[in-house]
Amino acid sequence: MRAKTAVVLGAQWGDEGKGKIVDVLSERFSAVARYSGGHNAGHTVIAGGQKFVLQLVPCGVLRPGCKGVIGNGVVLDPIAFLDEVDRLRKLGVAVDDQLFVSKRAQVILPYHRMIELAAECAPGRLKIGTTSKGIGPAYEDKMARSGLRVIDLIHPTLLKTHIEAACAEKNAIARALFGAEPLDPAKMFEEYAAAAERVRPFVADTGRMLNGILASGGSIMFEGAQGTMLDIDHGSYPFVTSSSATAGGASTGTGVAPTAIGTVISVTKAYVTRVGEGPFPTEIHDPTGDTIRARGNEYGAVTGRPRRCGWLDIPLLRYSNQLNGTEWLVVTKLDVLDQLAEIPVCTGYEIHGKITDEIPADVAGLDAVKPRYTSLKGWRQSTEGITDYERLPQAARDYLSFQERESGARIGMISTGPERDQTIILSEFAEALGGLRAYA
């Protein structure tokens, strides 16, 4: 049975290469809908030798005829959004005909950035390792029912009233707690009222739009941001993001019912990376980690921060698959491991002398994990650009089979390089999604 809807998300701590995967898969979907996060997330897509770095805009807009939807679960920085739209226009992308923003999405304003940056830098405060783009404080205001939504942004009177009231409160808080300089509400209103007029043409009732697409026989891909272990409820709290990065967020973040979700596709690297602070059981603390970082170009697409690198973590992947109801796995960056003679894979945890594969809910528990490794044979030859599964070295196929067997989800796709066509699409996966070109 072919899936009319699919959620594509990160199985680990984000940066799994979802951007390329969403781009490749979007050829058979009517729309791609982003459902969580903000412009702290970055997707890099390379198509026809051209590089696109996307932060808020869904990858679907790179495909002619595919709608890109920014759902209500996203927090929107209007200035960052317009900058990204302008960059895409210059690259020849038809954003004006394909891109839509939910009326119900929350808006990030300068005081959100001020509060987050001040809190992150304050002495004695727990450092989370945020991008300081105002994401967390915007979600805080959403939950406190004091946020500004896009529908309010484009009404000047409401915008002015909101900015004046919010600045009076946020300036006082920032000055009292962090000694921050106050923001000028009049200047802010002038800048954001002008931005609102440029955002206005993109604004739509996107929940109604998406449900209409399905009712008329179309198909939707839901694009996740960050990764499962950064989910506000199920991740390595408090070193997490501020939104629902798991598959459940696709419904609440777009207005499409959970019963309409056809399949879940989790993207996992052939190893693991993490950006910022927080526990990381399989992190590599020797020069091999530096080698993987260099070969995988493991630096943030938005921030440029170096990513921490670690070995594949099977208990974590099982946990992620369970949370998301993952049916299919996509494995990225297999080629990064090409030079290794032996590849350790974590198959279980030891915590205070006890063997387990349970993911601890607390940071102290995760920090206490001693990974138990199984060593698999490396292939020591290039897999870069291979598009036929049978052409992979036997040891590489063994590595993938081990990952599939131990994680409990089927591998449907393997990325062997950054370009669209450097991809292996297995026939069962192609058939399940319909219309995909299978290379093997």
How far is 371 from 344, CA to CA, in rounded Å? 10
Q: Residue 49, class by beta-carbon neighbours within 10 Å (0-12 exposed, 13-18 middle, 19+ buried)? A: exposed
* Beta-sheet strands, E only, within 287-396: 308-310, 328-332, 342-351, 354-356, 370-377
Contact 189, 159 (CB under 8 A): yes
How far is 297 from 168, CA to CA, in rounded Å? 44
Contact 72, 206 (CB under 8 A): yes
Please identify every residue annotated as catalytic: 15, 43
Contact 222, 5 (CB under 8 A): yes
How far is 288 from 281, CA to CA, in rounded Å? 16
Question: Dihedral angle at the C-alpha atoms of 241, 334, 49, 85, nearest 10 degrees?
Answer: -10
Cβ count within 10 A of residue 149: 18
- Helices within 230-313 (DSSP H only): 249-252, 287-295
